[in-house]
Amino acid sequence: MKFSAFFFALLFLSVSFAPPAEKKFLVNVEQDGKLVPIVDGVCTLKKKPFTLVFWFSEPMGVLVNASFSDSSYNAAKNERPLFAIPGFEETGMAEELHNAERQLIIAQTAPGYWYYDNEKEHRFNETKVDAGGITAKREIRQTRELEKKPVRIEKINAPLYLTFLSYEWLQPTYERRELQRAWIKLDWK
């Protein structure tokens, strides 16, 4: 059976212009005012401060696990279920409003909770709201493991693994239903 060129063109157009899956958030990395490419979940940065740039479709929060271990990163990347991802066993840690310390908390078992509710209630250094959604930037100058002193980005010698999850609580069972996940390994030049 022969198919016409018209059929193939129609098939190509229907696949090419299918609407993308609905995203609740996107995350990118910026350094020196420019977006740095993330290739296969890996972003290579200079050993100096950088910014995590989020886009939210609406006011919301994201759990963020930052670690020098790749266990959460690999579990998320390999599509393990939400309850089986290390680094998300404990409740999300409340961090300071507006990220005054310009830091990223490192923890093996608990995520940070970064959210945007409104211009006064958020965990970012800079936010912008427009008809397309919310852009929120979090500058990172240092990391801090719990109970330890902060370490400047310039002093880090190991890759940094970031895992991002959003979920909702289902009523009346209070089960968690995952909405979205993302992961980035930060390597250094």
pLDDT in tens, 159-176: 999 999 998 888 888 888
pLDDT at 55: 97
Buried b / exposed e along 4-16 (16+ C-beta atoms within 10 A): eeeeeeeeeeeee
pLDDT at 151: 97
pLDDT at 137: 98
Query: Count of H helices and E strands in the chain?
Result: 2, 14
The pTM of the full predicted model, rounded to 2 decimals, is 0.85
pLDDT at 10: 31
pLDDT at 175: 83
pLDDT < 50: residue spans in the chain: 1-20
The string of DSSP codes covering 15-84 is HHTSPPPP-SEEEEEEETTEEE--BTTEEEE-SS-EEEEEEESSSEEEEEEEESSSHHHHHHHTT--GGG
pLDDT at 25: 96
pLDDT at 9: 34
pLDDT at 111: 93
